[in-house]
Chains A and B, each alone.
Chain A
Amino acid sequence: MPDLLLELFSEEIPARMQRRAAEDLKKLVTDALVERGFLYEGAKAFATPRRLALHVAGLPMKGQDVREERKGPRVGSPDAAIQGFLKGAGLASIEQAKIESDPKKGEFYVAIIEKPGRSTPDVLAEILPGIVKNFPWPKSMRWGAASREPGSLRWVRPLHSIVCTFGPETEDPEVVRFDVDGIGSGDVTKGHRFLAPDEIRVKRFDDYAPALERAKVVIDTDRRKDMILHDAKDLAFAQGLELVEDEGLLEEVAGLVEWPVVLMGSFDEAFLDIPPEVIRTTIRANQKCFVLRDPATGKLANKFLLTSNLIASDGGKTIVGGNERVVRARLSDANFFWKTDQQVKLEDRLEKLKSIVFHEKLGTQYKRVERIAALAKEVAPIVGADPELAERAARLAKADLVTEMVGEFPELQGLMGRYYATLQGEHASVAAAIEEHYKPLGPSDRVPTDPASVAVALADKIDTLVGFWAIDEKPTGSKDPYALRRAALGVIRLVLENNLRIGLQQVLAQGMASVSGKVMMNRIIQTAEMRLQFEDALEEAGSEISKIAAVVERYSELKSTDEKGAIRNQVTNELRTNLQDLLSFFADRLKVYLRDQGARHDLIDAVFALEGQDDLLMIVRRVDALGSFLDTEDGRNLLAGYRRAANILRIEEKKDGRDYNEAPDLQIVNDQGLIEEKALAVVLHQAREEAAAAIEAEDFEGAMRALSRLRQPVDAFFDKVTVNAEDPALRANRLRLLNSIREATRTVADFSRIEG
């Protein structure tokens, strides 16, 4: 079966775009072929800095012939109808049409239209220019003389040539001829820019790949990665060292070379006094080199590995020398930052945070630090942290943002703060919290456990969430520019994985109070002096919504009492709505989190449907207990009994146009009830009280156990008792009994939300 070879040869494609582009190319070409009925056996795409290549194997020589029958007008129809039919079906005269008949329509014409399958190269030549022209590069450009005209070809960097051949293995394939904005396809490519710059004529993929390999181009990114990794490990091993592996860097480096040559360089040992993370970051970020460690001590070695794109005539001596120079200069800079940063204490840097805007509407980092420190202090006792330590850590947590080192390497934020805090003699928990308060950064990141870290981490995330909620910058769909989902997940993991008991509503309200009032201030107060007074009053008001609203009313510079009253209502409503909205955002994130842990989403819903569920840990424990209970026979039967009761109630309540929410009259039960009815009433009362007591004691298993006692009497009740009794009073009372079953289950969850 014939193969397609396609190569798009250009100037250097950014490393980060190559893999995706290769996949896009494969998908676009194969989808377009399949859409036109051309199936294939296999396809693989490749990328190097200078080319995207695609091999599609096992394509047919031509498409399938298509035979189509088209029904026409009745025999003897007016000439206009006949002519229209002939034209539509592409027939020359009516003699070419068949005549068929059916009982309803009588005799009519049928045209047989036979379309021979088109040759594959023709179809390719038709498909490919469009794919090249509309290629989904994240960023593309125009170039050269062609860019004088509007609508000229765009590519990631100038596109130079196209190879496109098609044909079976046994014959010489043909060049699929097409033209994209003046670039004609052919069968000529080029090898490595410096090692084999000459033109290479290729036939098909089977000779293309080896020909390029001879011309010092490895087209497969994964193979280049293997080569680099293998050589890097060998070189490290030879020196008794170990490679510090870095998948992201490896992928990037593999996208910067067509022929990888790994070389080792070294730097002055004195630089090893700089923190290892800094050395690694500077060498990685600026030089795209790997670092090495001593396997015995785990410490960094004064060596690095670079990946060049050249088999140099001096064995790489010049290249290593050049890279060492740059690494030396970079490490000198880093060393300079490291030393100068230590000369200013972290607390003395806070003033500078006043000039860093966190968000236009949420003020400076300085203000943010004040809020986080206050909140961390509040939260500290709940998480078992020393309030003073938590506050201190929060105060210093952002100070490293204005150090030279973090200015140069933003990814070292937190870590540098920890180093500098330790050096200036801060408490170990404070230093740790400075680093860890950003954590967890994602679902797989480590969750801090030191109470001070937990307090600051919670305060940082909650301040972010309430802040963006206050200015109405919530995540929508796939857009979450401030990573608020991640922040909420962070709070959830911090709480659950540390087994913390936190009333979320209370904590969120606290955070919201400090940020919302101030956001509102911008709307209502103009003079700076008033603002200061307002802020003080706001601080005193604490987190109670009504008090905040009162402060806003008092200070708003609105004239009439009507307007003032209106602003008070507005503030109250906004704060309440925001709080509820944020709580339900947390509920959603918790659901996602628990679902990922394998919990049933309906059980989560069943628990959330109860009032006032804002203690994450208790929610999770309840969901767990409910899940286990429903896995038992008692649980399943009780659920069935509940449903039966709920169904009857729904029907009867609808019929009667009223509900039966009152407690059953025990007198009626005793006087007129059957024995099963009496038994149920007794057990219901007991089970409900026991379940409620168990819930009070946070013993969810106990609550489920209490409910499980209902199963037998409920079953017996339905077995023997007719709910719709003749006597209306007896009937009503039985319905109330059913309602009691419903109510009893609500002590643990809303059973109506349970599925299956």
Chain B
Amino acid sequence: MTSEPAHMNPARSFQGLILTLQRYWAEQGCVILQPYDMEMGAGTFHPATTLRALGPKSWRAAYVQPSRRPKDGRYGENPNRAQHYYQFQVILKPNPPNLQELYLGSLKAIGIDTSLHDIRFVEDDWESPTLGAWGLGWECWCDGMEVSQFTYFQQVAGFECSPVAGELTYGLERLAMYLQGVESMYDLNFNGLDGVEKVTYGDIFLQAEQEYSRHNFEHADTEMLFRHFRDAEAACRKYLEAGEPKPDANDQRHLMALPAYDQCIKASHMFNLLDARGVISVTERQSYILRVRELAKACGAAWLKTEGGGVAA
């Protein structure tokens, strides 16, 4: 093994942490994807998870996903919470029998020694009302801190997972803060270098947090967002209909599941922005969530009629 330069060490470099996790999961046979090019609330929304979790085909992937949660913005003033952060997402379908061991191996790879650290699997059932998805699993604790979510998907988009996929989500900032021993995410060393060459997380994202918090809470154009929500919803339906196979056609595959799902992602983000702006009442809130879920379900149904969803060409 080639020894890595010190500034790549996950205990002192944020990007080193990402690269180490990518390498580790690549070694386990995952395809390493890049972030999906749309705004989303969590790595689970990436079609590589939501859609690929459906259908019979085996699938192993890992990727970083920037996650946007407009409501979590704190104008850069909270050391632990932000409206934009990174998740590292791993999905293995079907889950291998030793998934817990593989996960612990990833902790070891980033320098968490299980003879020193208290690792625990604490019950945490996962549910995403907007995706019509749920699973059982744990939050994984390291010395009392939640460092990952570990879920066995049981249902996605309203469909039973068959086979079940195992999903791991690492909250990268929090994990890095622990590894680097800093109290604020903005103090994280991003590139692992020292002195003038050092770039911190704050150097890159603090201004963005401040600006986007203003945007999310004060200025986001709600009229436009409402319109975009409706547009995305309509487009999703339109694409689903367009891709639906004709009853008499030989090929019964759906042809537009992925573009339709993009619109579902978009609607979901529009809803999150509207929610942050406080323009959705409590009663309406539930109905918006239901509308997104209906889209997700329809996209899941369409996906199951595609090649990726297991239908032979």
Contact = CB atoms under 8 A, between A and B. Distances in A.
- Whether both chains belong to one complex is answered with yes
Interface of A: 11-12, 14-16, 49, 139-150, 156-158, 160, 194, 256-257, 287-289, 306, 308-310, 312-314, 318-319, 321-323, 325-329, 333, 355-357, 360
B171 interface: no
Given A144-B94, A148-B94, A355-B282, A256 B152 contact: no
Interface in B280-302: 281-283
Contacts of B125: 139
Contact of A194 (B94, B119, B138, B283): B119
B154 A287 contact: no
B283 A357 contact: yes
Contacts of A310: 114-115, 117-118
B164 A147 contact: yes
Contacts of A322: 117-118, 142-145, 178
Given A16-B123, A357-B282, A141 B117 contact: no
Given A144-B95, A147-B94, A148-B94, A139 B136 contact: yes
Interface in B220-261: none
Most buried by B among A12, A149, A309: A12
Nearest to A11: B100
| Top 3 A-B pairs, shortest CB-CB distance | A322-B143, A14-B123, A12-B121
A194 B100 contact: no
A16 B123 CA distance: 9
Contacts of B144: 287-289, 306, 319, 322-323, 326-327
24 contacts: A12-B122, A15-B123, A142-B161, A143-B95, A157-B137, A160-B97, A194-B114, A306-B144, A308-B118, A309-B119, A310-B118, A312-B115, A312-B116, A318-B117, A318-B143, A319-B143, A319-B144, A322-B118, A322-B143, A322-B144, A322-B178, A326-B143, A326-B144, A329-B79
B145 A194 contact: no
B117 A143 contact: no
Contact of B162 (A11, A147, A160, A329): A147
B135 A141 contact: yes
Contact of A148 (B80, B114, B118, B163): B163
B146 to A, nearest CB: 9
Contacts of B80: 329, 333
Contacts of B308: none
A314 B113 CA distance: 11
Contacts of B97: 144, 158, 160
Given A139-B125, A312-B118, A313-B115, 19 more contacts: A12-B122, A139-B136, A143-B95, A143-B166, A144-B96, A146-B163, A150-B162, A156-B136, A157-B136, A157-B152, A158-B152, A312-B115, A313-B116, A322-B145, A323-B143, A323-B144, A325-B145, A333-B80, A356-B282
Contacts of A157: 136-137, 152
Size class of the contact patch on chain B: 35 or more
B145 A309 contact: no
B282 A143 contact: no
A52 B145 CA distance: 27
B198 interface: no
Contacts of A328: 183
Contacts of A149: 162
A256 B152 CA distance: 20
A143 B162 contact: no
B158 interface: no
Most buried by A among B95, B121, B125: B121
A186 to B, nearest CB: 16
Contacts of B183: 325, 328-329
A144 B143 contact: no
B214 interface: no
Contacts of A327: 144
A157 B124 CA distance: 12
Interface in B99-154: 100, 114-123, 125, 135-138, 142-145, 152, 154
A182 to B, nearest CB: 10
Contacts of A319: 116-118, 143-144
Interface string B204-230: 000000000000000000000000000
B202 interface: no
A402 to B, nearest CB: 12
A12 B141 CA distance: 13
Contacts, number: 120
Nearest to A15: B123
A494 B160 CA distance: 50
A157 B120 CA distance: 15
A355 B96 CA distance: 46
Nearest to B80: A329
Contacts of B143: 318-319, 321-323, 325-326
Contacts of A139: 125, 136
A158 B97 CA distance: 8
A147 B123 contact: no
Contacts of B135: 141
A148 to B, nearest CB: 4
Contacts of B136: 139-141, 156-157
A158 B161 CA distance: 15
Nearest to A311: B115
A148 B162 contact: yes
B281 A355 contact: yes
B304 to A, nearest CB: 14
Most buried by B among A140, A141, A148, A318: A141
Contacts of B138: 12
A139 B155 CA distance: 14
Contacts of A49: 121
A143 B164 contact: yes
A194 B154 contact: no
Nearest to B154: A141
Contacts of B121: 11-12, 49
Contacts of B178: 322, 325
B120 A148 contact: no
Contacts of B123: 12, 14-16
A314 B115 CA distance: 9
A359 to B, nearest CB: 12
A14 B122 CA distance: 7
Interface string B69-112: 00000000001100000000000001111001000000000000
A143 B152 contact: yes
A148 B119 contact: no
Contacts of B95: 143-144, 158
A40 B143 CA distance: 44
Nearest to B135: A141
Given A306-B144, A322-B178, A325-B145, A147 B115 contact: no
A287 B282 CA distance: 31
Contacts of A323: 143-145
Nearest to A137: B136
A148 B135 CA distance: 16
A592 B115 CA distance: 56
A307 to B, nearest CB: 9
B83 to A, nearest CB: 17
B94 A145 contact: yes
A380 B161 CA distance: 58
Nearest to B117: A318
Interface in B159-179: 161-164, 166, 178
B106 to A, nearest CB: 15
Nearest to A16: B123
A356 B216 CA distance: 22
Contacts of A14: 123
